[in-house]
Amino acid sequence: MKQLDISIAFFRSGILGYGGGPSSIPLVHKEVVDTFKWMDSDEFGDVLALANALPGPINTKMAGYIGYRVGGVVGMLNAILSSILPSIILLIVLLTTLNAYKDQPWVAGMTKAVVPVVGVMLGTLTWDFIKKSTKSTLGWKWTIVFVVASVILMELLNVHPAIIILGLLIGALVKKDKKKEEGKKERSSA
Amino acid sequence: MIYIQIFLALFIPGILGYGGGPSSIPLVENEVVDRYHWMTVNEFSEVLAMANTLPGPIATKMAGYIGYDQAGILGAVVGVFATVAPSLILMIGLLGLLMKYKESPQVKRLTIVVRPIIAVLLGVMTFDFFFSSYEGEGLWQTLFLGVVAYILMQKLKVHPAYVIAGSLVYGGLVLA
């Protein structure tokens, strides 16, 4: 029964969350804390902080860890598959079907019209990241420095983004702390 | 070896995308479009659009489809595994260590320093999308679709899934 509960909890929170993993976190919270009472709100906050300290998709880290705590390795696999599998299958079926009619003019028209719309969504996301960055401890000045420097490195010098990100991560871990910074701690929204 | 390429193409965004799935999208595009040339910018935007109309975590949907598109079911499994496993293994493996340091300023800083870089990658992708649309459909269609989509999503708060569905209908009828 416990495995079934895990499936239900992560299937529901996965299939109802629009806009990627971070937007389904409140849904996961509702299932885990309110519906199935596997942990209390404080513990959930701890797990979320943990997941945020690591890279990669947030939702599967949460699902994997909570599934593991509740039902061992089987629970972990169960939770991950329940949250991701339905949407992957839907996407593959949808796109494969569309690709089969690729040569039809109306399908070609559909795929063209969607490009600027996705452009707007990405533009909005870009602005969100800039705004969040200026409100963090970096502030306007350092955000602009980081942005300009990475545009130069990636677009003009063709440095792979992975190298820049790795460099920054190492820098962030090694750098000594100023007392000033501890006062205004970043509130992560994810 | 295609499976190794799929693994690498999705492992790198998975391990470097700080801030959840959406921040790994431009990193995925960088690998899939620029490095391995598995898709054009337009094809990638189509996949991203469809992924956005469907619910569920975005990074794993993209990984599953990209893997499937290149190498069938096993490709999809490899893609999803590369996206999910490394960070999950780290999380469960380093639990004790993480518990101790999760509130430390150094760890909090990780997300903060990566954010501007993700913003740049997203900005470049935005430009690529508009430019590709400009080249294909011309200035007026691109501007019209962009402005209408912006007003609907940002000002009138229409759900993106409906806006994408609407643009598909428009494209099927008008741009065909």
Give the separation between CA B152 and CA A118, rounded to whole angstroms: 13
Q: Would the pLDDT of A181 be above 50?
A: no
ipTM surpasses 0.90: no
CB atoms within 10 A of CB A103: 8
Q: Please answer whether residues B32 and A58 qualify as being in contact, where contact means their C-beta atoms are separated by less than 8 angstroms.
A: no
> Mean of the pLDDT values across residues B51-80?
90
Q: How far is CA B169 from CA B30, B109, B162, in A?
A: 29, 44, 11
Q: Band of the pLDDT at A178, cuts 50, 70, 90? A: low
Taking an 8 Å cut-off on Cβ atoms, the answer to whether B16 and A161 are in contact is yes
Residues of chain A contacting residue B174, judged by C-beta atoms under 8 Å apart: 109, 113
Dump pLDDT digits (tens) for B110-162: 778 888 888 888 888 888 889 888 988 889 999 999 999 999 988 888 877 78
Report the residue of B35, B112, B144, B169 to disrupt the A interface, i.e. the one with the largest count of A CBs within 10 Å: B112
Residues of chain A contacting residue B163, judged by C-beta atoms under 8 Å apart: 117
pLDDT for B103: 72
Give the separation between CA A55 and CA A58, rounded to whole angstroms: 8
pLDDT for A76: 93
pLDDT for A20: 64
Q: Please answer whether residues B103 and A114 qualify as being in contact, where contact means their C-beta atoms are separated by less than 8 angstroms.
A: no
Q: Please answer whether residues A26 and A34 qualify as being in contact, where contact means their C-beta atoms are separated by less than 8 angstroms.
A: no
Taking an 8 Å cut-off on Cβ atoms, the answer to whether B129 and A118 are in contact is yes
pLDDT for A179: 45
Q: Would the pLDDT of B58 be above 90?
A: no
